[in-house]
Amino acid sequence: MKKQGNIKISSENMMPIIKKWLYSDKDIFLREIVANGVDAITKFKKLVTMGEAQDDDKEYCIKISVDKKAKTLTVEDNGIGMTEEEVENYITRIAFSGASDFLEKYEKAGGDGIIGHFGLGFYSAYMVSENVEIFTKSYKNMPAVHWESDGNATYSIEECEMTERGTKIVMHISADEKEFLDESAIKSLVKKYCSFMPYNVYVSYKSDGKDEPLNSTLPLYAKNPKDCTDDDYKKFYTDTFMDYNEPIFWVHLNMDYPFKLKGILYFPKVKNKVELERGKVKLYCNQVFIADNIKEVIPEFLMLLNGVIDCPDIPLNVSRSFLQNDRQVQKISKHITKKVADKLVALFKNDREKYESCWEDTANFVKFGCIKDNDFYEKVKDVIIYKNTDNKFQALSELIPNEAKAVGAEKSNDDKTKNSPETIYYVSDEHQQAQYIKLFKNQGINAILCDNFIDPHFLSFLEYKIPDKVKFMRIDSDLDGALKSAESAEDSVLIDIVKNALQDKSVTVKTENLKDSEIPAVIVTDEYMRRYTEMGQIYGMSDGMINKTLILNTSNSAILKLKELDEDKQKFVACYVYSLALASFKKLSPEEQDKFQQDNLKLLNNFIK
């Protein structure tokens, strides 16, 4: 006998609100319906293990079919099923009672960020459907039931013919949602949301059973790490992220206490040094996809990685505000961070060669993580390494005396102050700063390479964290005492000659007697003023002009003879020496290039004469 009834809720506008605010992505309805089927199967299997139900030895699975002619999308499971009373309780009353709660919270929150937190998963079908039918038969010896509603204030329920246990949801797709009648689109959604469902999911299931499931019921992350090979990890990575560049290494998370957590985080190969490329960390709950890159669960810097995290302790549908304030979620986040740090430290200690070979791909990630997360910094600070201009890697502790001998030659006595921080020179552009590198190397002084965009921020960060131990100086910011001869003295006459010759009157001119006599002059600029200027330029608060100091090398023969030349030649040589130094300091502007080229042509013509 067919029965009809009214849905008793506090607002007749419940369905429009569900359609607008229940989920941020409309296509997530398929996940909800399939997840309900998974839950029904799991419940039935539990009853079987308890001896309260009889297993029929058939495959537990979800079947999805599209009928374009009838404009229906059907999701069918062979789970526990429902009686008429259960349909009334779980579909009509409880869900719509949840809808009342939803409406109340919707009004208070203005709809912002509300997702399915009130047991409304089934009703997500109305986001794409004008009418929904349920055909269900309980595992109990009870008649099958047909329930139907267009989502308004009425529904109908009656007995129906159904021989197999389980539930079938038939969604009559709305005219303006016809993309959900495309089989390839449905398959794509299944792969997106149901890739790791614990039971096989078929689309357009064939009776002969030849269709292949679109999901993996036992994903690699759910296995014991001992049972996984390197090839398994690489294949899972390629299949999951469609990235055919092999990951450099990975962290397999497998924890049962004090909370359940499984997953794999991959360190991908870096495509360039210019920017931090955002990865994709997929979050699951009992193999049901929740979302990508939920920062409340996964620390921001870990989102540079690719990976999957499955945590049953995080509800499938939950508000962002809940995640932000939930202590369990915060513990999970900290644990994930710790496991990643532990992996880096273990690799450094147990296989330094591999660690060093991976460093260029992991450096940006590690540095960004240190800046963003102090706990992460404390765990990995001793395994941060730096490549020097001899292509050798050293940790910071190996660069600082008192902890280990410094890189390169000894510092001059003038630079050695008992409690002063150690000066470490760095190179930001090996090609542009080649002359400085040669000058330093000729005196046995090395420098570290810091040529990634994040390095200026990271060096400042380290100076802030350990101000008593280290300060960083770009190789063109100062001349180390070991580069100079003891008898260095200021030559005021030489300085005046060059200052009067230069058009750029903002340049400071000094003299030094350098040990390397080949280089006539170098330009240096104050490290911290340069940093300040560059930072201001980024934020539009500076014109980018950096004060420069031209240091004339009084051990160079051309500089020594400058005083002997007539005024015109003094001016030409002074400007030419400045152009040479400037070309080694920075990329010349078009005007500077033109001037340099003209001077070179003049020299060439004079040589030919």
State the CATH architecture for 3-203: 2-Layer Sandwich (3.30)
Confirm if 105 and 319 have CB atoms less than 8 A apart. Answer: no
Q: What is the pLDDT of residue 16?
A: 57
Phi, psi of 546 (to 5 degrees): -110, 125
Q: What is the pLDDT of residue 608?
A: 81
- β-partners of residue 264 are 252, 308
* Strand arrangement of the beta sheet that strand 470-474 belongs to: 448-449, 422-427, 470-474
Q: What is the pLDDT of residue 408?
A: 37
Domain at 384-482: CATH code:
3.40.50.11260
* Phi-psi domain of 380 (left: phi exceeds 0; alpha: psi -120 through 50; beta: other): alpha
Closest-CA residue to 544 (of 531, 533, 535): 533
State the CATH architecture for 220-355: 2-Layer Sandwich (3.30)
Confirm if 534 and 455 have CB atoms less than 8 A apart. Answer: no
Q: What is the pLDDT of residue 14?
A: 53
Could you state, in order of their start, the residue ranges of all structural domains in the chain?
3-203, 220-355, 384-482, 484-608
Low-confidence ranges of the chain (pLDDT < 50): 9-13, 21, 97-99, 102-103, 106, 109-119, 404-417
CB atoms within 10 A of CB 447: 26
Q: What is the pLDDT of residue 573?
A: 92
CA pair distance 135, 156, nearest whole angstrom: 12
Give the DSSP H or E segment for 4. strand 3-6
- 592 to each of 25, 474, 525, 598, how far by Cα in Å? 55, 23, 19, 10
pLDDT digits (tens, 9 = 90+) for 252-261: 998 887 778 8
Q: Find all residues with CB under 8 Å of 39, minimum gap 6, and list them.
A: 79
pLDDT digits (tens, 9 = 90+) for 436-486: 999 999 888 889 999 988 999 999 999 999 988 889 999 999 888 889 887
The reported pTM is 0.76
CA atoms within 13 A on the CB side of 4: 5
Domain at 484-608: CATH code:
1.20.120.790
- 33 to each of 29, 94, 132, 312, how far by Cα in Å? 6, 17, 12, 18
Q: What is the pLDDT of residue 5?
A: 63
pLDDT digits (tens, 9 = 90+) for 490-547: 889 999 999 999 888 889 999 999 999 999 999 999 998 888 888 877 776 666 678 8
Q: What is the pLDDT of residue 304?
A: 82
